[in-house]
Amino acid sequence: MKGKHLEEMMIRFAYGELDGHEVTKAEELLATSDEARRIYDIYAIAAGGMKRLPEAPAPQLSSERLREAILSREIRGSGAKPWTWAGTAASIVAAGALAVYVFLPGESTVSPSDSNTVVAVRDIVDHSSSIERFEEPVSSAAVESTNDRAAETEIVADKAAPIRKRPQPAASKRTSEPTDSFTSAEVSRPAAAPGNSGELEAVVIISRTSNAIDGTSDATEIVSATDVVLGN
């Protein structure tokens, strides 16, 4: 046996890939052929060296690191129902539901603390009929506190852009229903507010937006009512 065939046999022998009868043949060759021994020696060193390769140092891999890598590339799972889309879909649905709830006529649920919402107190012509429904007296401290807040919101409203009234009913649902919360004629009628003329006033909830083109503010009336609760 010579050349490539001899080399192939010695390689397989050195790496332990020969069958029983082939091993016997290879051993005979090694005993009789210098060429076979020379080939075998070097492959045996290579095979032995491969088993003594250095251990890899402990890696610093973690599931968190992998998750970050996946999220940073905004990779969607390849499955049919990726969890990333579930979150997005839930957010969209929630936002839609909130929008419907907020913009429904008469639902005065917009928080005055919302950065885009201004609560303004405006004069109205006459709401004596609605005042008559409020029977319980309100403590003077509560009235004072609420009036202070009303005064503040009035200042904000003065600085805001002109209000564009939406085609919605002026009074909320609550005007037709008695309420047992902290509500009174005095609250919705800030008679003690500075500069107030003493006339009846209504609370108006305004959505404030900024114009993307020229940067000016714009405001849209969402809802107005005479008995909107102010305070916590």
Partner 1 sequence: MEAAAFSAAHGIRVTDSDDDLIRAARDGDYSSFEKLYEAHRNTVYRFAYQMTHSRDEAEDITQEAFVRAFQNLHRFREQAKFTTWILRIVTNLCTDRARMSTRRTNLEQKEATGGLEWMTIGKVVDPNEDMEEDRRAALVRKAVLALPAHHRNVILLRDFEEKEYTEIAEILGCTVGGAKLRVLRARRALRDRLEPLLRDQEPNRK
Per CB under 8 A, residues contacting partner 1 are 7-8, 11, 15, 42-43, 45-57, 59-61, 63, 65-67, 69-70, 73, 75, 77-83, 86
Q: Using the minimum distance from each CB to partner 1, give the nearer residue, 60 or 129.
A: 60
Cβ pair 187, 229 in contact under 8 A? yes
Q: Using the minimum distance from each CB to partner 1, give the nearer residue, 48 or 231.
A: 48
Least distance from partner 1 to the Cβ atom of residue 25, Å: 19
Alpha-carbon gap, residue 144 to 165, rounded angstroms: 29
Least distance from partner 1 to the Cβ atom of residue 98, Å: 24
* Residue 106 CB burial class (10 angstroms; 0-12, 13-18, ≥19): middle
Q: Using the minimum distance from each CB to partner 1, give the nearer residue, 43 or 182.
A: 43
Q: Using the minimum distance from each CB to partner 1, give the nearer residue, 76 or 165.
A: 76
Least distance from partner 1 to the Cβ atom of residue 95, Å: 22
Least distance from partner 1 to the Cβ atom of residue 56, Å: 4
